[in-house]
């Protein structure tokens, strides 16, 4: 008989950290290497092709399904399956070469021990070793089964299985963060494919399961023998169990609510933000995040009339509805609503519209009866940003049929939030034609800085005298200064508006919101306290500086501007006029730092 022709089969997704090591270990063993990739965006493909592997793209349908599809693309008479983060030890490699040298292998399938590395330590207890895996089989004699993500190879007909010496090295966890990511990923898949009794997801039961998992790993499986590593693994294993059953509960709740409403999946989501413009701007990353991970879902914003121009130019928003408590819009037909602002009238309206899934804060009396999903973090004093809180509200919808992306976690970095905001702004060159005299407001030969002194009482602010000092400071250094605000705000800043200087331009009361947005986008700088226009400037990537007090609830921890060119200065005291005690010199220094390296916008 001929010697075995061995095909190594690997499934992969963004495995540039591991795939080279895996393929290199197979170089002298496999006659053919097939990598089935599910859409990697890193250098996985390049690394595979450099090493002569056959690279095939295929949409991920689940671990079991992907592995069964993958081996059928290979032509070998025998199959060897590895994960991308695995490699052959020298002893296992020699055992495979000896096995290949035989002309009549006595078994239809072979297993070998798997040894896992955890944060640089090889784990030989904790239930992780020997962890024998059946990975080598004669073509058409075995298939992948199990419950995603825990796939398992099994022979199709009863037969004896062989065992090869050596270890399959599993380079699984390089850091605790890696383990956290894998817990999120696998618990998502496990929850979505769970078919057991829902009683296991009840709070007391899942807590008991997590406790038992810790005892089993640390004591019964000998985790204590692995020292600190073993105790860490026990804790993380318990945490993984808790995450899984929490998500099982969430998936079951979402399915039940949708089925009760005669719906199969989430297709239309309403995000309600019916307070100030700045609050809406900080909520828009929710729409961007949802569209980024589930582009087929229609996103509608429910806003007040005055905020509609902002919502209408947000790229991730499909539809805008205007909230009027006297004459509410028709809110029927939505599958889920995220109440980013807990407006009691809106809560009643979405309940009466019979929207199946209603998500909001649990820290209001009305939410007990009005909402189906509740989040309990305090916004006022948590020290977390408003956008962070909004994203965590939206995250409660994840895993509901219609929005399933394994491993999806709430983005924590404000840079990521900023990237989720994209705009369709009318260029100032076009917008200015509708405004008398606007063509002279900006000067291409000067840095043009907008100062917006008004805040409508929504935040702490500079005194008017400090704004006048700032205007003089910027004008003296060659800038052109534009004063913006509503007509009402203009009445309270007359002394600033009436400053006599050829490069000070008073445009208060002359702009609609959409026109103001166009002007901000074309300016070289924007200065204000925590107001809607400041947050617009930040997301438009206009260099901006915000002025803040240090105490909750109007502190920067919750309300700082989000953008690549946004800075904020914090006052610990107030001046004689009860304004924020932030020096003009420090504001100028912040702008100089923003402008350095960027040149004229």
Q: Could you report the per-residue pLDDT of 543-557, keeping only the tens digit for each?
A: 999 999 998 888 999
On the question of pLDDT at 92 being above 90, the answer is yes
pLDDT at 139: 96
CATH number for the segment(s) 428-595:
3.40.50.2000
Mean predicted confidence (pLDDT) in 565-583: 90
Backbone torsions φ then ψ of 222, nearest 5 degrees: 75, 25
497-537 tens-digit pLDDT: 989 999 999 999 999 999 999 999 999 999 999 999 999 99
Q: What is the pLDDT of residues 408-432, one digit of tens each?
A: 999 999 999 999 999 999 999 999 9
- Length of the chain equals 601
pLDDT higher than 80, residue 2: no
Pairing of strands 109-118, 133-138: antiparallel
Count other Cβ atoms within 10 Å, centred on residue 352. 12
Every domain range in the chain assigned CATH 3.40.50.2000: 268-419, 428-595
pLDDT confidence tier of residue 198, bands split at 50, 70 and 90: very high
> Which tokens hold the place of 31?
């006659």
Query: Which of the four pLDDT bands, split at 50, 70 and 90, describes residue 365?
Result: confident
Q: 173-210: string of b/e by CB count within 10 Å (b at 16+)?
A: beeeebbbebbbbbbbbbbbbbeeeeeebeeeebeebb
Measured CA to CA, the distance from residue 487 to residue 494 in angstroms comes to 11
CATH 3.90.550.10 positions along the chain are 6-174
Whether residue 524 contacts residue 531, with contact meaning beta carbons closer than 8 Å, is answered with no
Of the pLDDT bands very low, low, confident and very high (cuts 50, 70, 90), residue 460 is confident
**Span 345-366, mean pLDDT?**
93
What local confidence, expressed as pLDDT, does residue 456 receive?
Answer: 72
Query: Residue 598 has what pLDDT?
Result: 58
**Of the options 3.30.429.10, 1.10.3720.10, 3.40.190.10, 3.40.50.2000, the CATH number for the domain spanning 268-419:** 3.40.50.2000
* Angstrom distance (rounded) from CA 183 to CA 186: 5
DSSP string for residues in 285-303: HHHHHHHHH-TTSEEEEEE
d(CA 253, CA 256): 5
- Report helix, strand or coil for 506: strand
Model pTM? 0.86
Q: How many CB atoms lie within 10 A of CB 498?
A: 9
Q: What is the DSSP string of 220-255?
A: IT-GGGGTHHHHHHHHHHHHHHHHHHHHHHHHHHHH
Which position has the token pair 């929710």? 286
Report percent pLDDT > 70 for the chain.
Answer: 98
Contact 482, 507 (CB under 8 A): yes
Phi-psi region of 148 (alpha: psi -120 to 50; beta: other; left: phi over 0): beta
Which helix (H) or strand (E) is 566 found in, with range?
A: strand 566-571
Q: Looking at residue 254, what is its pLDDT?
A: 96
Fold of 6-174: Spore Coat Polysaccharide Biosynthesis Protein SpsA; Chain A (3.90.550)
């Amino acid at each position: 008989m001929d010697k075995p022709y061995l095909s190594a089969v690997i499934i992969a997704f963004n495995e540039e950290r591991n795939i080279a090591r895996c393929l290199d270990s197979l170089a002298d063993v496999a006659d053919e290497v097939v990598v089935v990739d599910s859409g990697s965006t890193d250098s996985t493909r390049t690394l595979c092709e450099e090493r002569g592997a056959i690279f095939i793209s295929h949409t991920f349908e689940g671990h079991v399904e992907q592995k069964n599809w993958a081996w059928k693309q290979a032509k070998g008479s025998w199959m060897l399956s590895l994960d991308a983060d695995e490699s052959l030890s020298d002893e296992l490699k020699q055992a495979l070469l000896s096995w290949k040298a035989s002309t009549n292998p006595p078994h239809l399938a072979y297993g070998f021990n798997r040894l896992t590395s955890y944060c640089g330590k090889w784990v030989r207890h904790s239930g992780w070793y020997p962890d024998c895996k059946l990975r080598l089989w004669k073509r058409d004699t075995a298939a992948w089964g199990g419950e995603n993500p825990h796939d398992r190879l099994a022979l199709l007909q009863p037969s004896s299985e062989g065992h090869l010496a050596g270890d399959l090295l599993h380079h699984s966890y390089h850091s605790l963060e890696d383990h956290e990511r894998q817990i999120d990923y696998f618990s998502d898949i496990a929850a979505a494919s769970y078919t057991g009794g829902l009683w296991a997801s009840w709070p007391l039961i899942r807590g008991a399961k997590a406790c038992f998992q810790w005892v089993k790993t640390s004591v019964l499986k000998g985790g204590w023998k692995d020292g600190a590593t073993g105790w860490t693994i026990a804790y993380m294993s318990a945490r993984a169990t808790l995450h899984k059953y929490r998500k099982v509960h969430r998936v079951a709740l979402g399915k039940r609510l949708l089925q009760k409403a005669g719906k199969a999946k989430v297709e239309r989501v309403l995000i309600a933000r019916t307070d100030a413009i700045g609050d809406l701007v900080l909520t828009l990353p929710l729409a961007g995040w949802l569209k980024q991970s589930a582009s087929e879902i229609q996103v509608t914003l429910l806003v007040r009339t005055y905020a509609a121009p902002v919502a209408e130019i947000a790229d991730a928003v499909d539809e805008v509805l205007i909230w009027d408590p006297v004459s509410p819009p028709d809110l029927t037909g939505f599958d889920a609503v995220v109440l980013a602002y807990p407006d009691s009238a809106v809560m009643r309206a979405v309940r009466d519209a019979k929207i199946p899934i209603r998500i909001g804060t649990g820290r209001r009396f009305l939410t007990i009866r009005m909402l189906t999903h509740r989040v309990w973090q305090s916004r006022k004093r948590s020290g977390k940003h408003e956008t962070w809180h909004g994203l965590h509200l939206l995250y409660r919808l994840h895993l509901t049929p219609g929005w399933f992306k394994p491993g999806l976690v709430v983005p924590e970095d404000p840079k990521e939030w900023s990237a989720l905001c994209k705009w369709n702004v009318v260029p100032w060159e076009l917008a200015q034609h509708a405004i008398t005299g606007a063509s002279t407001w900006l000067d291409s030969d000067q840095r043009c800085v907008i100062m917006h002194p008004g805040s409508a009482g929504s935040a702490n602010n500079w005194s008017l005298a400090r704004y006048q000092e700032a205007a003089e400071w910027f004008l003296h250094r060659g800038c052109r200064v534009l004063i913006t605000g509503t007509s009402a705000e203009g009445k309270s800043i007359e002394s600033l508006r009436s400053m006599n200087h050829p490069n000070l331009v008073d445009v208060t009361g002359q702009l609609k919101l959409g026109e103001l947005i166009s002007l901000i986008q074309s300016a070289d700088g924007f200065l204000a306290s925590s107001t809607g226009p400041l947050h617009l400037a930040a997301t438009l990537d206009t260099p901006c500086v915000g002025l803040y007090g240090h105490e909750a609830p109007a502190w920067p921890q919750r309300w700082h501007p989000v953008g690549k060119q946004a800075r904020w200065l914090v006052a610990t005291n107030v001046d004689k006029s009860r304004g924020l005690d932030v020096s003009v010199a420090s504001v100028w220094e912040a702008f100089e730092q923003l402008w350095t390296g960027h040149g004229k916008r």
